[in-house]
Amino acid sequence: MAGSAQRPLRADARRNRDKILAAAVRVLTEEGLDAHLEHIAKEAGVGSATLYRNFPTREALIEAVYRNEVAQLCDAAPGLLTQKPPYEALHDWTRLFLDYVTTKAGMVDALRAIAAKGNSPYGHSRDMVQAAITTLMDACAAAGTIRTDISPADMSAALEGIALTSAKPEQRGRAERLLDLILDGLKTRS
């Protein structure tokens, strides 16, 4: 949908779009570039015309899925902080980060294909993730639960390292152990 003055989607159209994005995450994560858009439409319970009306190209769908996953991850940080103590919120957010990384790993070939065509699906995702980490770490520091000599950029680098080495679903246990090690290292000591 081009243009700067887009009308808001009707509730049923928004539900269909959300169902397509959720189905696309599942199918693209499992099948990567081999995923057929018709399979995604079927998984979403919509017709192919509905899928193409929302996402006219494969690239548009993949980019929307990626952007949606990043937004959900980053939007979770403030919500977690309202529901839990800061350190627990940080812990739980790192698990959501693993979910995001696993999804992204399943779509990495598709994302690379888009980037190779000159479009950056990544946009501001790194800045958004960094802002979420900063929000969580600032809350933890204010609560006195983590050290203040570790920067959000350091934490981000550690998370990226885990993502590079343990992003596959079968590596989830290892990734969680590495996260626990990092989080334990962040704790203040009495």
Task: Outline which parts of the chain fall under CATH 1.10.10.60.
Answer: 10-56
Top CATH class, 10-56: mainly alpha
Q: What is the pLDDT of residue 2?
A: 44
Model's pTM, two decimal places?
0.82
pLDDT tens digits, 38-54: 999 999 999 999 999 99
CA dihedral 36→37→41→47, nearest 10 degrees, is -120
Buried b (16+ CB within 10 A) or exposed e, 105-133: bbbeebbebbeeeeeebeeebeebbbebb
pLDDT band at residue 10 using 50, 70 and 90 as cut-offs: confident
pLDDT tens digits, 59-100: 889 888 888 999 999 999 999 999 999 999 999 999 999 888
Q: What is the CATH number of domain 59-186?
A: 1.10.357.10
Task: Outline which parts of the chain fall under CATH 1.10.357.10.
Answer: 59-186
